[in-house]
Amino acid sequence: MNFIIQNVLIPVESGYTTVDVQVVDGKIAAIAPQIDAIAPIIDGKNKLLLPGFFNAHTHSSEMWQRGIMSVLPLELWLAELYDFAPLDPEQVYLSALGTAVETLLSGGTSVVDHLVLIPGLELETIATAVRAYREVGIRAFIAPLIQDESITAGIPSGESAQIHEPYFRSTAATLEIIEEAVRQFHRPEEGVNILVAPTGIQLCSDALFTGCIELSNRYNLCRHSHLLETKAQEKLALEKYGCTAVEHLWHIGFLGDRTSLAHCVWLTDADIAILAQTQSTVVHNPLSNLRLGSGIAPILKYLQAGVNVTFGCDGASSNDSQDLLEAIKIGSILHNVTDLDYQHWITPRQSVEMASLGGATGLNLADKLGSLTVGKQADLVLYDLTNLSLLPRTDPIGLLVLGRPTNVVDHVWVNGKQIVADGNVTTINVDNLRQELFNRSQWETSRKSQTAAQLELHYRTVMGL
């Protein structure tokens, strides 16, 4: 659809300027003080236009367990999560819708869903998420979460001799599922992308990583993985490889300019240099890292080393929301306490660029997305600057990033198609979604995870607790 956003504020180097923005065939066709053309007109007065942000790492089906997960570190938390993971594709559908809606209404136009697959229904799970994201119209990067080692393998052995049960599905069978998913669902031009996404070094063999690299090369797919989220994973990598996880992934060829890595909390300076050299992207998930006590990722060091960094919410059971503006705020100001030199701190303008162009770069799409540039796809968000939470009038981007913006997203377009109007998602019925989420759940206060209980003693021993 073709249209013009008139009299809208956009950021420029020296501050802000008021322009008209013309969208033709899904792309930004012109940005100029005044554009005369016959096209539907959107009133941009007292509104700020920004490129859509990327929710560059999440797990949509975790939405079913938000608010109830025990206060535990990742390794035990994961055991609890999997004990209660939803096994019904309809739940996957609803939580994908919910994740998309919350992302859109906090400034995101793209979502990277590191999608937890229902055992035995793997392709159906992927198909269901694809259906949900297509219905909403958000740009979707579906990264089916795969592993080929069982959960106990994710905890370092320490002094003990650990024997792990084999994973229930072979590495080859897992790779076949991903290849079939690529054939059936990978349609970048329609806004649906499949990524290869081994969960991380903690639960994946080299054969799985290598298989993913081959698929990535054959089908031109981006690569996604968790990386060194916890201290335990740092220890595990040394046990498993005799070198750091980053060095190992570099040796086997997993890193590169199409690779985005969630968390990156426990990296050495040499590791950081490798990420910079390979042009890999770090996805910063500050709320999840705080919630699970994983640590503070050295984001200022990444930026100084020239590593591309963007933001993710991570799954809603370790956050426990999908508010991208909240993740951007915390993920920016958190680092002020890690470096006395305030000249290294992240400014609100930098945060916006990391969330937009940084996200596009991590998915190898910087030439198509991530900035207000003529010729790029029109993934756009219009913020209402008359909203109470953005008043009184000072610096719009400062208010958006550092404030606590509430219901400020007015209109959203993805590929030039409007999917949010006047603060409401127009493509699906959000009232129905609320009703379904309500009806399929109940108030709960406590649960007992058997697997977490089984792993706890070993975890405490090996971590010296």
Q: Containing H/E element for 93?
A: helix 89-104
Identity of the residue numbered 145: L
Closest to Zn ion by CB, 263 or 376: 263
Exposed / middle / buried, residue 197 (Cβ in 10 Å: 0-12, 13-18, 19+): buried
CB of 50 to Zn ion, least distance (A): 26
Site string for Zn ion, 302-331 (x = CB under 5 A): ------------x-----------------
* Distance between start and end Cα atoms, the chain: 59
Binding residue count for Zn ion, defined by CB under 5 A: 1
Site string for Zn ion, 332-351 (x = CB under 5 A): --------------------
State how far Cα 102 lies from the chain centre: 13
Q: By the 8 A CB rule, do 401 and 328 touch?
A: yes
Closest to Zn ion by CB, 8 or 129: 129
Site string for Zn ion, 94-133 (x = CB under 5 A): ----------------------------------------
DSSP 98-143: HHHHHHHTTTEEEEEEEEEPPTT-HHHHHHHHHHHHHHHT-EEEEE
CB of 244 to Zn ion, least distance (A): 20
CB of 388 to Zn ion, least distance (A): 34
Question: Nearest residue by C-beta to Zn ion?
Answer: 314
Pairing type for strands 3-12 and 15-24 reads: antiparallel
Closest to Zn ion by CB, 38 or 71: 71
CB of 263 to Zn ion, least distance (A): 7
Closest to Zn ion by CB, 109 or 289: 289
Q: By the 8 A CB rule, do 332 and 352 touch?
A: no
Closest to Zn ion by CB, 102 or 314: 314
Q: Does a cis peptide bond (omega within 30 degrees of 0) precede residue 392?
A: yes
Pairing type for strands 27-32 and 409-414 reads: unpaired
CB of 365 to Zn ion, least distance (A): 21
CB of 114 to Zn ion, least distance (A): 5
Closest to Zn ion by CB, 310 or 427: 310
Residues in contact with Zn ion by CB under 5 A are 314
